[in-house]
Amino acid sequence: MSDRATGKLQGQVAIVTGGSRGIGQAVALAFAREGASVAVAAAHGQTALRNVEQEISALRSRALAVIADVTRRAEIDRLVQKVVESWGRIDVLVNNAGILRPAPLESITEEQWDEMMAVHLKGTFHCTQAVLPIMKRQRRGKIINVTAPSALRGSFGVADYAAAKGGIIAFTRNAANELKPYNIQVNCISPVADTRMTEVLTAFRRQHLGELPGQHRFVSPDAIAPVFVFFAGSDSDYITGQTLEISRP
């Protein structure tokens, strides 16, 4: 019997932004293994996105790869329209698209600040708002946002990133409260994952703080993906407005 026939997300349709690599790629494949049809989106990287699409298809799940910039509402509307035209519904949205440009606080430019807010905070808003008519009509939906430990505890060199991620936590709590009557759960995951972004941050901290290689322990994206499966499935039907942090002990 195939995974698709027995999966926890059998028959569900999911959108994963930032889906061409790292956490997004791992989550998309985990969803596919559980029987979901998965649309992966990214602002660029057509080849990487197509590779993920092929990996999903190899798991005998339906797949779509769409270039879409979360900061541009028209592109997100086209993404949502394409998914609905292809599969008729949207059950899960993972707002994972993100960027990181470490810099000391006094070095952050207005343009960098605006870009960080646009990708993380406005992007989460755009995607959430775009899927709401479908989820409300279905009277069911799961929205999973991605924040970061720096939004909860503070860090060095990521004031703009942390501020945007903190806004996502507040957005999650408010959206969860507003969408309860429609049976739409909105939750947030705060991972410490081994990705290209954390490689950049580690190099920056080594340069500015003298931290040693291996001083911080990261979780692999594959190890984090099951938490996204939990929040996407029926086991989390009575959990909303929460932020769950994932890190190594």
Quick check: 109 and 29 in contact, CB under 8 A?
no
Report which of 212, 130, 178 is spatially closest to residue 122, judged by C-alpha positions.
130
As a CATH number, domain 9-243 is: 3.40.50.720
Residues serving a catalytic function are 161
At CA 23, angle to CA 22 and CA 27, rounded to 5?
A: 125
In tens, the pLDDT along 191-233 reads 986 556 665 656 656 655 555 455 556 688 899 999 999 999 9
Query: Phi and psi dihedrals of 55, rounded to 5?
Result: -65, -40
What mean pLDDT do residues 79-107 have? 95
Specify the DSSP class assigned to residue 13: E
Quick check: 19 and 25 in contact, CB under 8 A?
yes
In tens, the pLDDT along 117-130 reads 999 999 999 999 99
* Residue 3, pLDDT above cutoff 50: no
Specify the DSSP class assigned to residue 117: I
Is 0.95 topped by the overall pTM?
A: no
* Residue 6, pLDDT above cutoff 90: no
Q: Give domain limits for the chain.
A: 9-243
The model's confidence at residue 102, banded by pLDDT at 50, 70 and 90, is confident
Three-state DSSP class for 42? strand
Give me the residue label for tokens 């797949």: 63
pLDDT confidence of residue 4: 45
